[in-house]
Amino acid sequence: MRHPAVPTGTQRPGTRRPGGRTARTRAAVRDAVLTGLAEHGYPGLTVEYVAERSGVHKTTLYRRWGGVEELVADALDLAGEDAWTPPDTGGLEGDLRALAREVCDSFSDPEMAAAPTAFIAAAFQSERAADALRAFYAERFARCETVVERAVARGEAPAGTDAGAVVRAVSAPLFLRLFVTREPVHAALADQSAAATVAAVRAGAFMPPTGTGQATDGPSPAPTRTPDP
């Protein structure tokens, strides 16, 4: 997981003052990047725009971030530093349904959707943005895995279930429709995905590969998560 204290990766004076000038500057720059991405998309975002919008001088932006790619990547790093936790409804299907509905709801609201959509688009054009997006979702989905761990503890899912694959599987049909097939998403689709994922979990379809197709003597003590590196 990456949470660089400063965007350039070098420790600078002031970095460790929480809520101080550095943090405020970074947040102002992040807000300007999000607005710029939402308004113009990645191809239209410029350091000049971020400078004007944030009130941070252009030379400061170049010196401390480097350029547009680094500005976008840092905004994404900062977005990952929130206190979000996955839903806890008391049951696996309820939790997965809530997770899927959250994807559905946040991308159905044009205002909420603008920045994350722009990040996903930017990753097509910038390796640096793609790296930041990968780190963002790796950490976000790692948080989601709690949902599956709790289900295992409750006996709702077999021990050794590939939690990372499960939380991705329940969200995937929504992301597919939003960003590939460009179809509408809605709550019924989220619920269908949750029902399908729970059925697959119960059937043991998310066990590590040794458990799905080949004979095995029992659950491995430390399952290899091959399908989800």
Interface with its own copies (CB under 8 A): 41, 43, 117, 120-121, 123-125, 130-131, 133-134, 137-138, 141, 162, 165, 168-169, 171-173, 175-177, 179-184, 186, 188-189, 191-193, 195-200, 202-206, 209, 212-213, 226-229
Minimum Å gap between C-beta 182 and its own copies is 4
Residues 6 or more apart in contact with residue 108 via CB below 8 angstroms: 185, 186
Nearer Cβ to its own copies, position 65 or 141?
141
Nearer Cβ to its own copies, position 28 or 105?
105
Do 30 and 78 meet the contact criterion of CB atoms below 8 Å apart?
Answer: yes
Minimum Å gap between C-beta 5 and its own copies is 24
The radius of gyration of the chain's CA atoms, rounded to the nearest angstrom, is 20
Nearer Cβ to its own copies, position 27 or 130?
130
The DSSP line for 68-129 is HHHHHHHHHHHHTTS-------SSHHHHHHHHHHHHHHHHHSHHHHHHHHHHHHHHHH-HHH
Residue 161 tokens, joined: 């279930």
Nearer Cβ to its own copies, position 153 or 203?
203
